[in-house]
């Protein structure tokens, strides 16, 4: 395929997407650390984030952001949400006109509550924008397990062309024109994943975890629809699919944070031992504000907020749900 893909961000998911694209077309990944770039170019690996896994041999990496951006026919933004605006500002003078820009970040901007494509639209006007999202655990995809994702753009014809760039082997990519719903589903589910992880850390049981996931889906759907997403998007790969994977997988950073909180570890100590961002932690206060703004009840998010933001014990969020006698209704303070 005679298209050049550029990927900004050398974390686990950005690297995985770059490796998938390299199977179909010329692909260059930008990373900040020279040692990561050397590892990709010399060893076809990113040992820092994806140990013991091989990347596509055609993938190239560079620390020169301008070079990568100027050559890209399609640009993928694989940086965390906190870095999205600054990175977009840095590339704005370099990016050629009308180059499609695809976001991978599943977060919201602090202070504004804006989605990543909204930020990109402000900093990179006149570029087609989209999001690649779904139940995508990087290590499983690179290992060769089957997986599916959604590329969401308002222009479905363009989305179908972008779709072909990332489809590879057992990695199947679908299209969707509900950018708002697809993007919100990815951001909102991270908070529910923390709640599910807390249930695991507290050994609350599989029934409780299933209840949290189910009611969590209802909660994020209510808010997502109020903000302009379509209900069916939240029952698809971008919504339920991503939520289930993030809530049950030991590879999920957000679930991992919740599990350690459930075991009694402080958030500060948890963050210190992590080398990648758990977007859900940063999203909690933003989601709380959005719930108020759109007048949508957010009981699970509020319960998680008490633990993460106020230091309450995780057991308090599950009062009435941990090995207690059944009743007609759940406790009002419970997250479901």
**Cα dist from 103 to 59, 139, 186, 198, whole Å:** 19, 19, 11, 29
* 272 CB-contact burial (10 Å; exposed 0-12 / middle 13-18 / buried 19+): exposed
Q: Which of 114, 189, 282, 306 is catalytic?
A: 189
Contacts of 245 (CB under 8 A, 6+ apart): 135, 136, 137, 252
Dump strand ranges (E) for the chain: 4-8, 26-30, 60-62, 74-77, 101-103, 129-133, 147-153, 171-176
Strand partners, 74: 5
Q: What are the strands of the beta sheet with 147-153, ordered from one edge? A: 60-62, 26-30, 4-8, 74-77, 101-103, 129-133, 147-153, 171-176
Is 89 annotated in the active site? no
In 3D space, the residue among 75, 81, 108, 58 whose CA is nearest the CA of residue 8 turns out to be 75
Phi-psi sector, 312: left (phi>0), alpha (psi -120 to 50), beta: beta
Sign of CA pseudo-dihedral 155, 158, 162, 163: positive
Instruction: Give catalytic residues, as residue numbers.
Output: 189
């Amino acid at each position: 395929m005679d298209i050049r893909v550029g990927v900004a961000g050398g974390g686990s998911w950005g690297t995985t997407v770059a490796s998938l694209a390299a199977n179909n077309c010329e692909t260059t990944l930008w990373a900040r650390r020279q040692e990561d770039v050397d590892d990709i170019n010399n060893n076809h690996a990113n040992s820092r984030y994806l140990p013991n896994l091989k990347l596509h041999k055609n993938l190239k990496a560079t620390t020169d952001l301008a070079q990568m951006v100027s050559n890209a026919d399609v640009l993928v933004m694989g940086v965390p949400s906190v870095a999205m605006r600054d990175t977009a500002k840095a590339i704005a003078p370099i990016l050629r006109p009308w180059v499609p820009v695809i976001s991978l970040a599943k977060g919201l901007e602090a202070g504004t509550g804006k989605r990543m494509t909204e930020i990109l639209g402000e900093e990179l006007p006149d570029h087609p924008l989209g999001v690649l999202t779904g139940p995508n655990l990087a290590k499983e995809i690179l290992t060769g397990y089957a997986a599916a994702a959604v590329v969401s753009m308002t222009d479905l014809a363009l989305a179908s062309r972008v779709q072909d760039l990332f489809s590879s082997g057992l990695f199947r990519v679908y299209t969707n024109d509900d950018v708002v719903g697809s993007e919100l589903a990815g951001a909102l589910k991270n908070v529910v994943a923390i709640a599910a992880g807390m249930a695991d850390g507290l050994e609350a049981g599989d029934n409780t975890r299933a209840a949290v996931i189910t009611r969590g889906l209802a909660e994020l759907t209510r808010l997502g629809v109020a903000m302009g997403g379509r209900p069916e998007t939240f029952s698809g790969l971008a919504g339920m699919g991503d939520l289930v994977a993030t809530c049950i997988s030991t590879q999920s950073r957000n679930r991992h944070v919740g599990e350690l909180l459930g075991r009694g570890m402080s958030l500060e100590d948890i963050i210190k031992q992590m080398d990648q961002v758990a977007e859900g932690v940063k999203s909690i206060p933003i989601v709380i504000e959005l719930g108020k703004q759109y007048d949508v009840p957010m009981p699970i998010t509020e319960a998680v907020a008490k633990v993460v933001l106020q230091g309450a014990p995780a057991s308090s969020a599950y009062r009435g749900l941990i090995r207690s006698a059944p009743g007609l209704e759940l406790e009002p303070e419970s997250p479901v």
